[in-house]
Structure 1
């Protein structure tokens, strides 16, 4: 089982994430490429960060399922936003997903950066993920 925690002696997280995650022996890592806010047909889910984040996180959930995993197997999320104006929408959609995925608040580690641009101008959000799944 993945252990996630934020130890004493370090300031508490400023959001819904853990400072540390430990993956025990007997797990294989899944590395998920940056997911953007597109629907299954490849069309952008919407113009705003909130809608795009929901779609990107749904894509991550589907990719995990395709590999026999769930969000409980996530070790790390890494998000990139194309502008600070997208912070509120991203955080709202992320909070919704984390509340659903982790009702006991056992959140994965997480990093967030604002970049000059993403792959195309209409993209507001891109989210990468790392998961650890028990080996069979």
Structure 2
């Protein structure tokens, strides 16, 4: 089982994340490239961070499934927003999804940065992830 914890020797996390995550030997690392708020048909989910975040988290869930994993196997999430004005929408969508994924508040490690821009001007949020997927038995 993936272990997540917050030692008492440092301040508590300032958001929904764990300071430390340990991956057991019977798992393998899967790297998820930056996901943006595109729908399966290739259309952008919307112009705002909330709709784009909802879409990219749905994409992430589908990618986890394709890797034989689920949200409980996320080790680290790295989020990028193209401006502080997108923080509220991003946090709203993330909070709703994390409430479903982690009802016991056993969150993965996370980082969030605000950047000047992403790869295309209409993109306002992008998320990368590290996953500890259970090893497949041959």
Q: Shorter-normalised TM-score: what interval?
A: over 0.9
Structure 2: runs of 5+ lacking an equivalent = none
Match for residue 87 of structure 1?
87
Match for residue 76 of structure 1?
76
Q: Return structure 1 stretches of 4+ with deviation > 2 angstroms.
A: none
For residue 134 of structure 1, report the CA deviation from its aligned partner.
Answer: 1.8
For residue 67 of structure 1, report the CA deviation from its aligned partner.
Answer: 1.2
Match for residue 2 of structure 2?
2
Whole-angstrom distance in 1 between the partners of 2:103 and 2:112: 22
Name the TM-score, length of structure 1 as normaliser: 0.98
Q: How many residues align?
A: 136
Match for residue 34 of structure 1?
34
Partner SS state of residue 68, structure 1: coil
Name the TM-score, length of structure 2 as normaliser: 0.97
Structure 1: runs of 5+ lacking an equivalent = none
Q: How does 1:99-114 map to 2 (within 5 A)?
A: 99-114=99-114
Whole-angstrom distance in 1 between the partners of 2:127 and 2:134: 23
Whole-angstrom distance in 1 between the partners of 2:19 and 2:88: 22
Match for residue 19 of structure 2?
19
For residue 68 of structure 1, report the CA deviation from its aligned partner.
Answer: 1.1
Confirm or deny: 8 A CA contact 2:69 2:134 kept in the other structure: no
The CA RMSD measured in Å over matched residues stands at: 0.6
1:134 equivalent to 2:98? Answer no
For residue 9 of structure 1, report the CA deviation from its aligned partner.
Answer: 1.4
